Amino acid sequence: MYTTVINGCSKAKLWRKALHFLDEMRTMGVTPNAYTYSAAISACGNGGKWEKALDLLNEMRENNMKVNVITYNSAITALAKTARINTRQSMNKHPSALDDPRDVVGVIDDEQLWKRALMLLEQMKKENVSPDVYSYSSAISACGACGRFQEALDLITIMRKRRQTKPNKIAYTGAISACARSGEWAPALKLFNDMKSDGIECDTAVYNALLSALSSSDKADEMFNLWTEMCSTRICSPDRNTLATVIAGLDRKTGKGNNKKIDKVFSDAVEREIMLPTDSMDTDYEIDLSGMTLPIAKAACRFILRQLILKISEGETCHDLSFITGVSWNNKVDSSESSHSPKQTGSMALREHIRAVLRDDFEPPLYSCIPKMAAGTVQVKKEVLKKWVDTQS
């Protein structure tokens, strides 16, 4: 009964409750077994409390309990999950407001995490506990989150040598992620192809990991080809992260041919309702760009204006065009802005970026204004828009 309750706490990420029931067991004279400890270790792992997870593992050894593969896997997974939490925090992704502030994991030394995961694998071998696919996959995930691509590749090689531990999707994804965080696109691409050769379906997470590796190496054409491949398969579908990575990579290259690729990617995203879903706009003349990265917002402007050129040219009544940008300063300006983008990186408002795009990226320039009662809106008056459309016709 206690083991079942602790396992429930683990799934609910209630690590404090899990440890409470573990202590209560001892008080009530009920001896925890290996499965009980595994559930408690898993609860600590789900809560990002890797130190407590390893303390429980040591406690088992002190009590002369045999540590099985399930318990070891729970401990390695605790390290991997903490590494992923650490990575998210380092990317300025804050925990939910619903989370208990006491449970927030502080950014710690990544080296502790991946090294300890590898140490646990070695400890398993010393105790004649054979690591399984899950053991290796979790260790690779820890290495991946910490950007240790060579260690991840070495583990993949070990898995390949053993028939019973052939790399699975989790292992491949972790290794590709490690390569991405290290800027190593070539081994990431090889892993991707090996994964396909092994008959493992590549999902969105795998594609996004590979795209991240290619993005760090300016492989814009390869990224565009992967986007096209994702759109043509039924196995997976691109998401907003895919779109942001691909357009950021393409935006680094200049030239009309590259702009056409960006326009194609954005059009695909609209068709799939990744961007500008039909229920997000009141009219064709009021578009919400808030929250978009600068390269995506630029692509959105081109897309909207292409649509309006067709409609107005066919006789549709022209109206004031409003781009809703918000008024807060954009501190997450994409470092991949093209060479002709404004250079106030980290301090330029999206609103001002859109005004610059309309003015500098179109011929003739399309001039805009800021309505007095709507500081977070870029507006193109209908008279200006109509004259501009006539030049495009």
> pLDDT by residue (tens digit) across 325-370?
986 544 343 433 333 444 443 335 799 999 999 999 999 999 999 9
pLDDT of amino acid 155? 96
Is-cis flag, bond preceding 371, omega within 30?
no
Decide if 296 contacts 275 (C-beta within 8 A). Answer: yes
Stated as kind and residue range, the H or E segment containing 33 is none
With 0-12 / 13-18 / 19 or more C-beta atoms within 10 angstroms meaning exposed / middle / buried, residue 339 is: exposed
Query: pLDDT tens across 363-384, in order?
Result: 999 999 999 988 899 999 999 9
Residue type (1 letter), 273: E
**Strand arrangement of the beta sheet that strand 286-288 belongs to:** 286-288, 321-324, 377-380
The Cα 84–Cα 93 span in angstroms is 12
Q: Residue type at 332?
A: K
Third-level CATH fold of 2-146: 1.25.40
Which residues contact residue 197 at a Cβ distance below 8 angstroms, ignoring those fewer than 6 apart? none
d(CA 295, CA 298): 5
**Residue extents of the structural domains in the chain:** 2-146, 278-392
Strand ranges (E), the chain: 286-288, 321-324, 377-380
- What is residue 148's DSSP assignment? -
The pTM of this model reads: 0.79
C-alpha distances (whole Å) from 171 to each of 136, 140, 206, 305 are 7, 6, 11, 44
Biggest CA pair distance of the chain: 86
**278-392: what fold?**
Ribosomal Protein S8; Chain: A, domain 1 (3.30.1370)
* Phi, psi (degrees; rounded to nearest 5) at 287: -125, 130
- The strand pair at 286-288 and 321-324 is best described as parallel
Q: Residue 337: its pLDDT value, please?
A: 39
Q: What are 95's two structure tokens?
A: 């925990």
Give me the pLDDT at residue 24, please.
Answer: 96
Q: Determine the pLDDT at residue 270.
A: 94
Predicted pLDDT of residue 122:
95
Rounded distance between C-alpha atoms, residue 233 and residue 245, angstroms: 19
Quote the pLDDT of residue 53: 92
Low-confidence ranges of the chain (pLDDT < 50): 93-108, 329-347
Evaluate whether 336 touches 252 at the Cβ level (below 8 Å): yes
Place of tokens 């961007």: 275
Are 107 and 85 a contacting pair, CB within 8 Å?
no
pLDDT of residue 286: 92
